[in-house]
């Protein structure tokens, strides 16, 4: 499987000539989802869900479909009739030839005064890749490649390190990194890589790796 990191939390996966895109939000490239056969959205925050990017992808490929949770589906189903599927924790489905399992229910706590919204993570092809969205969800299954939310208003580095330790992936690639400056990256690389217990990796947006 080919994994391409887009800006912030967006990831493109390619296998057998088909493309699955996760979380093409407002911090990602305008064409982040163009060329997708299927799109997964973890939750409704604008850095993960952008209707314009979804519309561009579905117009470019009339066969493309979206899988997401209810709060997002309610906002876009009318625009894309028959092409938006609602999923929740425990669901399993196939999208563009990728086997997907849904894990998690709630966004991480940003602040006690901010109501929590729903959030799901997606386990791809039996654990080849896990994208948790905006939560530190542990899928309870072996994970080869963890997409690691490295910097967010709702986390701190000790939690990120402990999350890697608990999931125990073979490797962890940074996502959710638009707020992390290049000046600070070596600190995160050193601490997560040294303390997480798994290989810690980073891709520049547009770069790819085989997983």
Angle at 119 between CA 193 and CA 28, to 5 degrees: 65
H helices, E strands: number in the chain:
4, 14
For residue 134, what pLDDT is reported?
Answer: 98
Q: What percent of the chain has pLDDT over 90?
A: 100
d(CA 203, CA 86): 30
pTM above 0.85, yes or no: yes
28 touches 9 (CB < 8 A) = yes
For residue 84, what pLDDT is reported?
Answer: 97
| Confidence band of 77 (pLDDT split at 50, 70, 90) | very high
Question: CATH number of the domain at 2-210, out of 3.30.70.2740, 3.40.50.170, 1.10.3720.10, 3.60.15.10?
Answer: 3.60.15.10
The total of other beta-carbon atoms located within 10 Å of residue 210's CB is 6
d(CA 146, CA 159): 15
**What mean pLDDT, rounded, does the chain reach?**
97
Residue 97 CA, distance from chain mean position: 18
The total of other beta-carbon atoms located within 10 Å of residue 181's CB is 9
> pLDDT per residue over 168-178, tens digit each?
999 999 999 99
| Confidence band of 92 (pLDDT split at 50, 70, 90) | very high
Nearest to 202 by CA among 137, 152, 133, 151: 151
Mean pLDDT of 83-104: 98
For residue 94, what pLDDT is reported?
Answer: 98
Domain boundaries, the chain: 2-210
3 touches 208 (CB < 8 A) = yes
Mean pLDDT of 111-139: 98
């Amino acid at each position: 499987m080919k994994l391409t990191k887009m800006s912030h939390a967006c990831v493109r996966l390619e296998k057998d000539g088909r493309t699955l895109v996760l979380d093409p939000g407002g911090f990602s490239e305008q064409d982040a989802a163009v060329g997708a056969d299927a799109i997964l959205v973890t939750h409704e925050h604008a850095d993960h869900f952008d209707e314009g990017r979804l519309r561009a992808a579905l117009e470019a490929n009339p066969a493309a479909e979206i899988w997401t949770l209810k709060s997002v589906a309610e906002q876009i189903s009318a625009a894309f009739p028959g092409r938006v599927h609602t999923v929740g924790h425990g669901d399993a489905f196939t999208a563009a030839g990728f086997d997907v399992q849904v894990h998690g229910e709630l966004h991480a706590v940003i602040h006690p005064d901010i109501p929590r919204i729903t959030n799901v993570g997606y386990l791809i092809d039996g654990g080849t890749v896990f994208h948790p969205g905006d939560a530190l969800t542990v899928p309870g299954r072996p994970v080869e490649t963890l997409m690691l939310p490295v910097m967010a208003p709702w986390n701190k580095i000790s939690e990120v390190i402990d999350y890697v330790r608990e999931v125990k992936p073979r490797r962890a690639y940074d996502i959710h990194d638009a707020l992390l400056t290049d000046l600070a990256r070596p600190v995160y690389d050193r601490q997560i890589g040294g303390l997480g217990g798994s290989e810690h990796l980073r891709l520049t947006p547009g770069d790819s790796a085989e997983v």
